[in-house]
Every structure is written in C-alpha cells, then in structure tokens.
Structure 1
C-alpha cells in the first residue's frame, strides 16, 4: 500500500547557487561502482537520492543504474545544448527562454496526485516517487515535431510501476497528465498561446508500455527546471510535446483527454502524434531531422525513422490508419 507523505518544506537552490557539476562527477562514479549488485550499494543509492532533493549546494546528483536494453550507441547530445534549447511555453516560446526564465519554478516541495478511475488514489511527494521503483538510466532519442532531435540519458522508471500500485479500474481507458498552472512560477502562462494548464494524454496500453518513462532526472542529475523539473514524462516514439513536464496530477479516465496542442490546432497535432516520416506537418516535411549539436556547415540532416526507431511499439497500433490517427 502506498503511504501519503508530507513535503519537508526544503527547496532546491537555483542553478546559479549550485557548485559546478564537474566537481561532483568523481563522486557519482564512486557511487555507481560501489552500488552495483550489493545491498550496501542500494543504501548508497537511497542516500544519494535523498541528498539530491536537499538544500546542500551541488547536491543535484541522482544515482541510478544504466539499463543496457536502453543504452543507445549514438552520441549523446551535450548537456549544455539539452538544457538551453528547449520547448517549454510556460517559460516562453523562444527556445532560449526556458533556460533564462525557469529560475522562478520551485520544484521542491512538490506533490503529484493520482486520481480518477483507480482503486487506490493517492498523493505522492518526491521522496515517495523516488522510492516507488528502482531508478534506471535510459538513453533515449527525442524527436521534436519542428524537425530537430536530441539523444539524452534520462533517469526514471517505467510508468507501469506507478500504474500497478494504484490499480486502475476496468473503466480506465486513458491516462491524463496535468502540469503546474501557477503564473507566479511560470511567467509564460500569462500569454494565451495555449489553453492552460498544459494537458497531455495516452491510451492505457501506451501508458503501460515499458518504454513509457516517468522521469525524475537526466545526465545523472535531477531534472533542470527548464527540462520539466521535478517530474515529467518521456515518450521516445512520440513527438516531444507529448512528454508532459512539471506534472502535478495524473488522472485515469474513461474518455480520451483533451490535450493542449490538439485543442490549439487539431489539424496539425493529433492525439497520438507518433513520429511518422510519412505524415508531414501541414507546413513542413517530417521525413528528416536536424540533430542538435550537429549544426556544422556541412552537417547532413538525418532520415527520420518510423516511431523514431522504437519499432517495439508498432503492435500498439496494429490495424490503425496512422495517417488518419496522426
């Protein structure tokens, strides 16, 4: 049974107050080496992750074990690029604005409420989310609908771990993700560019797929504010906007959720939004992509792969017209 926990009231420091991440790389390597395959290692993991959400300067590390099934050979996107080139309209519509403006977000204390068609509704704080399942590092491609992509080492666990704990009823057909709606913390909410709060959703079988990641970190650290701190979704076979950030509520529903971009432009952004090179956006092709960090004069665009290369999800859409259900 899940136990409700009260937030401890301690806030993370802003990035400007944190000791440079390079100083702590040796500490992370030590923890990884000590932790593999031992009870003592598990204790070290838990200790390190409690520190990650403390007030200690530089305590941004998030211990995890690399999952070899999701260890891409492709070159990872540089941390600087992944944290300064972002879509997060709650902090501005320009790619550089989230990194500049997200310092107003307070990712601790934080709670996520799980409700709707479940037998065990619950509200979980970050400590409870950290302990819900072993944290894994997974290297995923992420493809943006605008035609660019990144390769990022995420930290988290399959959403199915949480779903099984709350026991959805037979009426649960979809999962809805609702993000923070606070103009004081998110200045971009003052602009009516989308219907706020930002909402995304999945069909239940999509939500239960092992690839569907509930993420609490990236690059061995807790999530930066501009990347969706403190908890977000990562859905590597769908366009990036489907991966909801700064989640405060997860709701299980009978009906398909009304999602932010599908409301704003239903002819351009379908509910499924699977990466599909054969279905163009009305204003541009989706057949190729630009990998961030490969922007040299002679850099060639990459061919976009069906489902972003994650063909293990193809069975979820057997018999569906993926040009109609885009």
Structure 2
C-alpha cells in the first residue's frame, strides 16, 4: 500500500477549520465552489505517484488561504485536464505522457539546494520548504507556447521568500532552475531531445517579483507528479516552458544561464519568453489561444499581453525591444 507522507509542520501553521470553511465559502461566492469541492473528478493514484495527494481537509498543509490580489476571474480549468494534458518531456513528448508515466517518479525524500551567488547557501528538504511560509491559493492564467492555455489554482508562496533565506549577493543577476533526472523513472530521458537535466532561468528581478510562485499544491491538494511534484515554479506572464517542474537546485548567477530550449532552438524560444500576441512563433501565431476544458468547438480567445499581467510586470521591461528580446 502506498505510504502517504505528511510534512512535519508547526501547529501554528496548520490552517484552522474556520479558515478552511471561509475559504470554501469565498470560492462559492467567486463561482468556484464546485471546483473547490472536487468537481471534475480526482486523478487516479497511478498518475499521481506513490505519494498520493492529501485530500482537501482541515489541517491539510497543501491548501493555502485564497489571495484575492492574485486571483483572476476566469473560469478555472477542470482539475482532471490540468494533469492529463501537459508538457513534461522527461516522461515523453505527448500531452498525456506525464499522466501515463509520472507515477514512477520518486518524490520522497526530496531536497532543493539554493547556491551560487548567495551569502548563505543551503539545502532545504521538502518539509523545510513547506514550513518556510504559509501557503496562498492563487488562481493564475497559464499560457503554453503551442497556443493553448489553462486557468489553475496553485498553492504556494512567492519564490522571493525562499531566495531571501540564502541572501543573494550583489553579483546575483540571474536565477537558474535545475530539475530532477531519474533514469528508469522518466522514460522521456531516453529520447535525448534535451541535454538533461532541464534548465530554466529568470532575471533576478523577475524571480523576486511577488507573482513568481513556488508551488507545492493545486486545487487544495498536494501537487501531482504530472504537474511537477513535489515543488515547481509558476511565472504566469511567461510561456509555460519557463516554469520549471520538480526542482532540485536553484542557482543564483552573475551571467545569464543557457536554458534548455534556448540551447536547442534559439530562433524559436527566447530567454525572456514573455507572452506577447504581437510576436509569433516561427511556425504559428500567438495572437489567439485555445482554453483547455472549454470544449473542442469553443471559440479561440485573444491572447493578452503579458498574459493579462501587464499592470504588474510591464515595468520590468521598460525600454526593452520585446520583439528582439522575446
């Protein structure tokens, strides 16, 4: 029988029942009540991995308090679609491959090192990370470079909370993310599409922006393996390939890291990868997108600049030519 691992958290950080009840009521008022209560069905444990999610219940360490400041009003994507239609090339290039194969990934024990241009390099185990700050629920738009999108209620806290623990030095200009490599558990590694491990990165000001989220859960449950368990990042104003999954290392650097897709196809995937309807991919337009879960014949919707987060992040790129720095 699979063993459920529940992090050791302080009693002060366990969500009280009255807050959890308030959370559900808030979601109902926002039109999300059915989703919060599990509409759409639960994912089979085989797809989720050996450490199955803890259910949404009082005291659940993966259920964050809703943060209205970072919540969009868009209809959330059905839960079953978020983990069954996904890009996670370590498990294969098909959209369903992570759902079919990620169950073998081992997520306990797990640790993430923060190193490089920092005064206090440190390795955090997953329980340390969960205890570092209270989790928030943030409903984010997420946009994939293949012109499909989702709206996902992530559970986590700002990445800056973790980075500050390591005290970045004045030489820290960029943040590099390194993801897990588990031969035998990740069949996509054999395809050698990417020079593994998968590498992504941000400029330091992007990484420290409060919208950049360190994610541990989704829909009030532990993050499923197909979505990057046990910890990933989410950068909602960028295309999805920037949001590294199953992180094992975060390195602060003085020079821009050579990220995986920039290394493979620099003419198609840029370092910044900001969602921009005016900059087409060489093989397709980015002006519109298809919302997963809206039905096969649903009309496409207009892609928003910075994925709709322009008010929050446009100032990061003041004076930059966004066609050149795509």
C-alpha separation in 2, matches of 1:260 and 1:68: 34
User: How has the CA–CA distance of structure 1 residues 60 and 246 changed in structure 2, closer, same or farther, with 3 Å as cutoff?
Assistant: farther
C-alpha separation in 1, matches of 2:184 and 2:227: 18
CA RMSD of aligned residues (A): 2.1
Structure 1 counterpart of 2:89 = 89
The 5 A counterparts of 1:119-158 are 119-158=119-158
Deviation at 1:33, TM superposition (A): 2.8
Answer yes or no: is 1:301 the counterpart of 2:300: yes
Deviation at 1:58, TM superposition (A): 6.0
Partners of 1:12 and 1:106 within 8 A in 2: no
Structure 2 counterpart of 1:242 = 242
Structure 2 counterpart of 1:280 = 280
C-alpha separation in 2, matches of 1:28 and 1:291: 35
Structure 2 counterpart of 1:213 = 213
User: How has the CA–CA distance of structure 1 residues 304 and 34 changed in structure 2, closer, same or farther, with 3 Å as cutoff?
Assistant: closer
Answer yes or no: is 1:33 the counterpart of 2:21: yes
C-alpha separation in 1, matches of 2:19 and 2:187: 38
Instruction: Provide structure 1 residue ranges, at least 5 long, that are not aligned to the other structure.
Output: 1-9, 14-26, 37-54
Offset from partner CA, 1:6-57 (integer Å, 9 cap, x none): xxxx9648xxxxxxxxxxxxx9976613899xxxxxxxxxxxxxxxxxx997
Of 59, 62, 65, 2:54 maps to 59
C-alpha separation in 1, matches of 2:100 and 2:211: 31
Deviation at 1:240, TM superposition (A): 0.2
Partners of 1:31 and 1:63 within 8 A in 2: no
Answer yes or no: is 1:325 the counterpart of 2:325: yes
Deviation at 1:78, TM superposition (A): 0.2
Offset from partner CA, 1:207-235 (integer Å, 9 cap, x none): 01010000011110111000000000100
Q: Which piece of structure 1 moves more, 27-36 or 250-259?
A: 27-36
Instruction: Provide structure 2 residue ranges, at least 5 long, that are not aligned to the other structure.
Output: 6-14, 25-49, 57-61
C-alpha separation in 1, matches of 2:142 and 2:166: 28
User: How has the CA–CA distance of structure 1 residues 325 and 33 changed in structure 2, closer, same or farther, with 3 Å as cutoff?
Assistant: same
Structure 2 counterpart of 1:77 = 77
C-alpha separation in 2, matches of 1:195 and 1:29: 46
Q: Secondary structure at the match of 2:112?
A: strand
* Structure 2 length-normalised TM: 0.83
Partners of 1:11 and 1:106 within 8 A in 2: no
C-alpha separation in 2, matches of 1:177 and 1:57: 25
The 5 A counterparts of 1:153-232 are 153-232=153-232
C-alpha separation in 1, matches of 2:120 and 2:160: 15
* Structure 1 length-normalised TM: 0.83
C-alpha separation in 2, matches of 1:170 and 1:85: 40
C-alpha separation in 2, matches of 1:261 and 1:135: 31
